[in-house]
Structure 1
Amino acid sequence: MFSFSRSASYGGVVRRALLAPGLRALAWRGAPAGCHTGSPQTAPPEPPLLDLHGRTHDYLRISLTERCNLRCQYCMPAEGVQLSARAALLTRDELLRLARVFAALGVRKLRLTGGEPTLRADLPELVRELRALPGVRTVAMTSNGVALARRLPALQRAGLGALNLSLDSLRADRYERLARRPGLARALASLDVALQLGLPRVKVNTVLVRGFNEDEICDFVELTRERDIDVRFIEFMPFAGNEWRDARMVPERAALDAVRRRHPALRPAAPEPCRTASLWQAPGHRGRVGFISSMSKPFCGSCNRLRLTADGNLKVSARPSPSTPPGARVDNAVSDLRVGRRWENPTRNHDSTLLPARRCSRKFSIQRNITLLIGNLKAEVRHNE
C-alpha cells in the first residue's frame, strides 16, 4: 500500500502528517485550470489533482538519472555529488508504472530531466512508452545538449514534443569554466538539429551569474532574431555546494533593463496559463525572451509542476528541501487502480483548509530557504519471493 509523509513549514512551525488512506496534500477537486494542451478527447478526468494552495497539478517532471556529464558550478561541486545506490533508484518498470498512475490522475505533460537524461541508453524507448500512456499529451526533455544532437532524430520519432536546452554562455572559454567540461559546440549543434527537425517548442535556459555571464544577455537575445525559440534567463538559486550568494544573483529587473537598453521597444508577449516565465518580444525577432524569477518574484501560486526524483521522492519545488523519510512500500501485487485510489477520497473539507496562493509566494520572498512540499513519496516495488 501507499502511505505518504509530508513536511511543510509555515511561520517556522514544522508540521508532519502521515497521509493515509487518502493523500491530503494532493486531492481531487474542481475543474482544470486551463493549463492543459492537446485535443479535447484526451481531457483529464474531473476533478483534477489539487493541492492545499488550490493549484491544479497536470505536469510531472521525471528525473531519469542522477548522473551528469557536466559539473556546472551553480549545480554541483567539481568532484560531483554522492549518487544514490543503484538499488535505491526507480527501475524502468517502476518509473513507467508511476507515470501511468499520474496520467490516470490528470497529469498531461511529462518532462524528462536528470542529471542529464541523454545518459540513459534506453531514452528513445522510454519516450515512446511514456508518450503512449493514455492521457499523456506531451513528453518534453531538458538537456545540456552535449550528447544530444545525434539522438534527436530517434527521440523525435519516439514522440519527443518539446526541448529545453541548458546553455549558460556563448563563449567557449566561459562555457568550459562554468561547466568544468568542454561542450559549447556540441550544445549549439543540438540546438541547430532541434530546429532543423522542426521540434515545435524549443527553449534555451540560461542561468545568470553576476560577474560571469550577465554581459552576454543581449548576445542570447540575438539568438531569437532568426530562430523561433524562447531564450529564458533564470535567476541563480541556492543549492548545496554551489556557493550561492545574493550578490551573485542577477534579478529579473536588472536583466530586463539590460535587454531594454538594446531593444527599447521590447513588448510583453501574449500571456500563457501556468507559465513560470514572463515573456517578452523584441521587434523584428521571431523568438521570445523570458525571465524565470524564482528568487525575486516567486511564482509558486501558479506553479502546476510535480517532481519525481530518480530515487522515487515526490516534491513540488526545485528549491532545496528538508529530508523526509520514505513512506510505506508498494506491494507488486497491488493493482495500479488501487494505487491510484490512494490519491483519492480526501478525509477533510478542502474548502476550509486551502491556503491562499499569495501566502505561498510571500513566504518564499521572505524566507527563501523554506521549501513548500506537497509530500514526499518513496515507491518501491518489492517482488514476491
Structure 2
Amino acid sequence: MALATNMRRNACLVTNWLVASGKLNFLSVGFEHASYSIIRKTNGLRIFGDQLEASRTYATSCAKLSDEIQKENSDSNMLVDSFGRMHTYLRISLTERCNLRCQYCMPAEGVDLTSTPKLLTRNEIMRLANLFVSSGVNKIRLTGGEPTIRKDIEDICLELSNLKGLKTLAMTTNGIVLARKLPKLKECGLSAINISLDTLVPAKFEFMTRRKGHEKVMESINAAVDLGYNPVKVNCVIMRGFNDDEICNFVELTREKPINIRFIEFMPFDGNVWNVKKLVPYSEILQTVTKNFVNLTRLGDHPTETAKNFRIDGHQGTVSFITSMTEHFCAGCNRLRLLADGNFKVCLFGPSEVSLRDPLRQGADDNELREIIHAAVRRKKASHAGMFDIAKTANRPMIHIGG
C-alpha cells in the first residue's frame, strides 16, 4: 500500500511539473474506456503510455500545483486522495431554498427542506471554510438552492473573501434578485459569477421554472458585464425539444460581450419527469455550433477543468461544453461539496455524505474536524459510474455542475 501511494504521489508530482513547465501540452484520458491509452507530446517527442506506466492512470487526475505548494513535504496538509488528485475547489451550499421551481430540478411543490436549526449558521460555515482553505482549497463557489436569497449573503462573502489563501470566491445563481445585490456583493469580494439561464424566450422560461423572471435574469447578466466581471458565465442546460433550437441564439450573446456560454448536457434522474431522450450530447451541440459559426478554436484547458472551452473569431466571449453524461471528467476532479445541512460530499455524483455539523456541534476541535475531512477525501473513488445515484440521496433537488 505504501509503495502504491508513493507511486501515485510521484506520478502526480511528475505530471504537475510537466504541466507547470509547459513541457506537457496535451493531456487526454478516456475515462469511459477500460484502458487508459495516452499519447503525450513533450518537446516534440511522442511518448507513449507504456513508457510512463506509473503515471498514465493518474495523468489528468492531478490538479496543477501552485508555486506555493509544489513542495512534497506539504502534501500531508493538502486534501489529496489515494489517486493523487489534489482538491482545491469547494462548493458551499448556503441554503436548500430556491425562488424557482425548474421542472428538471424539483417537483412543482418543492422538496422537503431541512429545518433551520439543522442548517449551518454563518459562524459554522466560516469555521469549516477556514479549515478547507488551510488545507489547500483556493477556490470557493457559493451555491444553493439559490444563494442570493440568504439574508446574510453579503456578510458571508465578506468574511470568506478575507480568508488567507483563498484566491477565488465565486457564485452560481439563477439571477432573479442578483442585479440589485451584485454591486454590494462585488464590494464584499465576490470575484466570479455564473448565472443559470436555459432559454432566451420568456414564455419558455416561465414554463420551465414555473415562475416569471426572465427579464430579471437578463438584467443580472448585463449588470455583471457592466460591473466588469469577465467572463460572465451563463449556464445553459440543453434539452431536446425544449431549447435545442436556441443554441445559436445563445452563442450570439458572446459576440459583443465578455460572456462565456456554458452548454451543459441534461442529466435525467429518478426525481424529474424528463427522461434520457431529452439528452442532447456534446457532439451534437458542437456540430450545431460549428455549422453556424466559422473558426471555432479549442482553448487549452486546465487538467481539472470540467468544460471544453472554445473561442470564435470576432467574438468577445467564449463557448464551453460541460459533458456531464457523455464524456465525464472524474479523472481530473478537484471538487468537494459542503451542503447546507453540514453534510460533506467528496463526489458531486455520489450518494455518500459525512456530517461535519454533528461533530462540530459536539465540541470537536479543528484538528479533529480536519481529520474527518481528510479521511473522507482519502476514501474518494477514482470515478463514479452510477451517475444517477445522486438522485436517490435525501430527496435533494438536481445538482448541475456548471461551475
Structure (1/2) with the larger helix percentage: 2
Q: Where do 1:1-385 residues align within 5 Å?
A: 33-35=62-64, 46-47=74-75, 48-319=78-349, 321-322=350-351, 326=355, 329-330=359-360, 333-343=363-373, 357=382, 360=383, 364=385, 367-370=386-389
**Structure 1 residues 273 and 326, CA gap change in structure 2 (3 angstroms):** closer
Report the secondary structure of 2:273's partner residue. Answer: coil
SS at match of 2:193: strand
Deviation at 1:240, TM superposition (A): 4.3
| Inter-partner Cα distance in structure 2 for 1:322 and 1:305 | 15
Q: Is the 8 A contact 1:35 1:58 kept in 2?
A: no
Structure 2 CA distance for aligned equivalents of residues 263 and 293 of structure 1: 20
Gaps of 5+ in 1: 1-23, 372-385
TM norm structure 1: 0.79
How far did residue 94 of structure 1 move?
1.1
Instruction: In structure 2, list runs of 5 or more residues that go unmatched.
Output: 17-61, 391-403
Partner of 1:330, secondary structure, is helix
Tell me the SS of whatever aligns to 1:156. Answer: helix
CA distance in 2 between counterparts of 1:280 and 1:228 reads: 13
Q: Take 1:284 and 1:42, find their aligned partners in 2: how far apart are those partners?
A: 38
Does structure 1 conserve the Cα–Cα contact (< 8 Å) formed by 2:155 and 2:188?
Answer: yes
* Aligned-partner SS, 2:211: coil
Alignment-mate amino acid for residue 388 of structure 2: N
Distance 1:112 1:214 in 2: 28
Q: Which amino acid aligns with 1:211?
A: G
Matched letter for residue 106 of structure 1: G
Corresponding pairs, count: 330
Q: State the identity as a percent.
A: 45
Q: CA separation in 1, counterparts of 2:65 and 2:149?
A: 29
1:107-151 residue CA offsets vs partner (Å, 9 max, x unmatched): 110000000001011111100001111211111000010100010
TM-score, reference length from structure 2: 0.75
Q: Tell me if the contact between 2:179 and 2:216 (Cα under 8 Å) persists in the aligned partners.
A: yes
Q: How far has the Cα of 1:225 moved from its partner?
A: 0.5
Describe the superposition over 1:170-202 as per-residue Cα deviations: whole angstroms up to 9, x where unpaired: 010011111111111100111111111112442
Give the 3 Å change call, closer, same or farther, for CA 315–304 of structure 1 in structure 2: same
Deviation at 1:316, TM superposition (A): 3.0
Contact 2:63 2:87 in 1 (8 A): no
- Alpha carbons of structure 1 residues 229 and 182: separation in structure 2 relative to 1, 3 Å: same
Q: CA 1:167–1:343 in structure 2 vs 1: closer, same or farther (change >3 Å)?
A: closer
Letter in 2 for 1:126: I
- Alignment partner of 1:46: what SS? helix
Structure number with higher relative contact order (C-alpha < 8 Å, ≥ 6 residues apart)? 1
Q: Is the 8 A contact 1:76 1:240 kept in 2?
A: no
What do you get for the CA RMSD once the two structures are aligned?
2.8
Could you tell me how far apart the structure 2 residues matched to 1:265 and 1:123 are? Answer: 41
CA contact (8 A) 1:65 1:310 kept: yes
- 1:207–1:234 Cα contact (<8 Å) kept: yes
- Equivalent residues of 2:345, 2:352 under 8 A apart: no
2: CA distance between counterparts of 1:105 and 1:252? Answer: 35
For 1:288 and 1:126, the matched residues in 2 are separated by 30
